[in-house]
Amino acid sequence: MAYFRAGKTRRLAWSVFLLLEIFTASVSALYRGDSPSSGFNSGHGSESQHVLRPIRPIQQPYEPIPSTPDSRPENGEPLISPYAITNPLQELHSALSTMQNFYFSLWLGKWTTAIDWTAAVMGTHVSAALYSLSHSLPYTMPGTFDKDRKIDVEAQMIENEINKYFGHVITYYFGEDHFAIRNQAYDDMLWVVLGWLESIQFINGHSDMHYPASPDRAAGESDWHGKQFAPAFAHRARVFYDLASKGWDWKLCGGGMNWNPHTRLPYKNAITNELFISASIGMYLQFPGDTNCSPFMSGHDRGENLDWKLLRNQELGASDSCSSDSRKATYDPIYLSAAVNAYDWLKNSGMKNDQGLYVDGFHIMDYGKNGSIGTGKCDERNEMVYTYNQGVILSGLRGLWEGTGRVEYLEDGHELIRDVIRATGWTDTDIAPTVAFSKARNSNPGHKQRQAQPKQPSPWSGIGSSGVLTEICDPYGTCSQNGQTFKGIFFHHLTIFCAKLPTSAAMPGKTFFADKTISALHRRGCNDYAPWVLHNANAALKTRDTRGRFGTWWGVNAGTNADDLSENPLRKTLLRKGITAIFPENATDYRNDPQTLFHDTESEWDSDIDPETHVGGMKGRETSDPNRDLNDRGRGRTVETQGGGVAVVRAMWEFLRNYDDDDA
């Protein structure tokens, strides 16, 4: 099969072709009277929301296999199969529509089976997918610049789809149980912040790209209608950021965010600190300000002593209705300082293992003994490794670079990504230990250069197998809603990190931009990851059922060319050696119920794991049907697994769209 580079012109042509195909399929579906499968029960009945159904029958995914290093051109750049370019946008449409069709209840304004924090993540995935759809085709809406300009069919379809799903974002704003989340853990609050900042970024990007400025701006003709919701989204982001920031303290461990204010023992974990870093730099770069200084007014709140006159003044935007703190806007240095300090603490906390992966977190030895704080140090490390702990920090590092201009943030991000890829057992392409933007990075004797991954990887490499990102609970079918959400989070933040660097400052004096050298190094570094991203997206696509729903264990088919799933090398290893083959020592899994983590509810395997120590093996008894769908075990296919599918397919589209940019 011939291979070639994907240029901008050809990608645009393919996008138009794909959208024509989507239009044809959609029209055909209308004439056929297709309806969603009646086998799905949302728990709240069907609302006949007329949500876009999958745009075509589910097919076997294509094989986006990159060239081997030996078959690269002389300049060493990897090549991508044309089949890898043809389908991603269509797959993103399908994954998003399936998620909203099966799991979102329009009249309730929520994903009915999600819990509060996973719902916030699903909202983030929707806004991010809309951003990608918005940027998939250049067009200007009629009446925004040239009243006589006619819009083509493809653009009308894209705009209609965007408006439909943005309507879901709006209803989720009112359906989100934000009052309950105020009383939850700090990480739960920070997911809310990131979600609404993502929505604001989409709103601004869509309006700027498709509704450009015109002389009629004063009449509101050039602003997309969605911009009217940005102040409400910004208000919620500010409220939850202010609440979550109370979790930072300098007394214990010399700094860091505590996970949960409601637990007896403090736990300074990776995810809460990474979220705080990403949320802080996000507030610095994207927060548009907030003139509503009332943090609790909503349909959930009632009070006898409310100052209704003050609240009315706030609604009218009276200048004296809010304190100066409530009107903090973009580029507030407080947010930048918080992000810088938090990452400095995290980087020096010792929270990475020997593979360069973030472990879950730290306890404090003897805390509470005789009423004391014990050692006051983070000296009891939980060695558990989760995929999302490797992802959230990536968007924070990207933002820290833009806010400070310090290339070491980009270098740290690239190093972490490469450590993750190696820890999945990826060997198809050679990936250097890091991307060095400065001579100091290469000459620093303290910089640890990790050895290249062996060409014959073991069945489990630390965070995956056969090059596929994997949670430890995946092969057992025992992931909780938490665990089912993690891989999608990783790919969402990886996509943010690898977006093109700005070549001009968004705000001179407040933000920084990349020169040609930095921009090229970053792009080439991210191009190195494209084959691995495609490999994971293809693995995820193979887990879909006939209704287009993604499974949670993407690697179920990995490592075998046969149809017999019992040949999967990771499954064979687990049957032979048990969970101790992949479970880290001194690890506790707080994200999945230890009583059920290693017990297959459908008797795939019987476990003799001690739930306290997680030590033991598996009683190797297979079911009568070893080729049954292993992604139907446990919680099965859920909105969380579908959100992961949306995120990894979006990552595939964005990596291919930006692949080998001419001006990189």
List, for residues 307-345, the tens digit of each pLDDT value. Answer: 656 656 655 655 555 655 555 678 999 999 999 999 999
Name the 3-class secondary structure at 619.
Answer: strand
pLDDT score at 75: 45
CB atoms near residue 620 (< 10 Å) = 12
The size of the chain, in residues, is 664
Name the 3-class secondary structure at 110.
Answer: strand
The separation between the first and the last C-alpha atoms of the chain, rounded to the nearest angstrom, is 27
pLDDT score at 563: 52
Tell me how far apart the alpha carbons of residues 122 and 639 are, in angstroms, rounded to a whole number. Answer: 8
Q: Within the chain, which residues score under 70 in pLDDT?
A: 1-86, 140-151, 214-222, 294-328, 439-458, 559-567, 575-581, 593-627, 660-664
Contact 217, 143 (CB under 8 A): no
CA nearest to 367, candidates 248, 266, 260, 258: 266
Task: Work out whether strand 464-465 and strand 378-382 pair parallel, antiparallel, or are unpaired.
Answer: unpaired
Per DSSP, 97 falls in state: H
Chain CA centroid to CA 175, Å: 21
pLDDT score at 194: 98
Tell me how far apart the alpha carbons of residues 464 and 466 are, in angstroms, rounded to a whole number. Answer: 7
Q: DSSP labels for 135-183? A: TTS----TTSS-TTPPPPHHHHHHHHHHHHHHHHHHHHHHHS-HHHHTT
List, for residues 274-285, the tens digit of each pLDDT value. Answer: 999 999 999 999
Tell me how far apart the alpha carbons of residues 392 and 354 are, in angstroms, rounded to a whole number. Answer: 20
pLDDT score at 141: 66
Tell me how far apart the alpha carbons of residues 30 and 51 are, in angstroms, rounded to a whole number. Answer: 12
Q: How far is CA 574 from CA 169, 586, 598, 601, in A?
A: 41, 19, 11, 17
Which domains are present in the chain?
A: 82-143+150-212+224-294+326-437+468-560+590-597+643-661 (1.50.10.20)
Phi, psi of 105 (to 5 degrees): -100, 110
3-state SS of 318-387 is CCCCCCHHHHCCCCCHHHHHHHHHHHHHHHCCCCECCCCCECCEEEECCCCHHHCCCCCCEEEEECCCCC
pLDDT score at 291: 81
The encoded tokens of residue 148 equal 């006589």
The residue behind tokens 């997206």 is: 537
pLDDT score at 314: 57
pLDDT score at 219: 52
The encoded tokens of residue 487 equal 């891989």
Tell me how far apart the alpha carbons of residues 575 and 577 are, in angstroms, rounded to a whole number. Answer: 6
Biggest CA-to-CA distance, the chain:
78
pLDDT score at 430: 87
Tell me how far apart the alpha carbons of residues 41 and 28 are, in angstroms, rounded to a whole number. Answer: 26
Contact 594, 611 (CB under 8 A): yes
Q: DSSP labels for 429-455? A: S---S---SSHHHHH-TTS--PPPPPS
118 residue type, one letter: T
Tell me how far apart the alpha carbons of residues 489 and 494 are, in angstroms, rounded to a whole number. Answer: 9
Q: Is the dihedral of CA 32, 37, 41, 42 positive or negative?
A: negative
- Residue 262, Cβ density class (10 Å: 0-12 exposed, 13-18 middle, ≥19 buried): exposed
CA nearest to 482, candidates 94, 268, 248, 187: 187
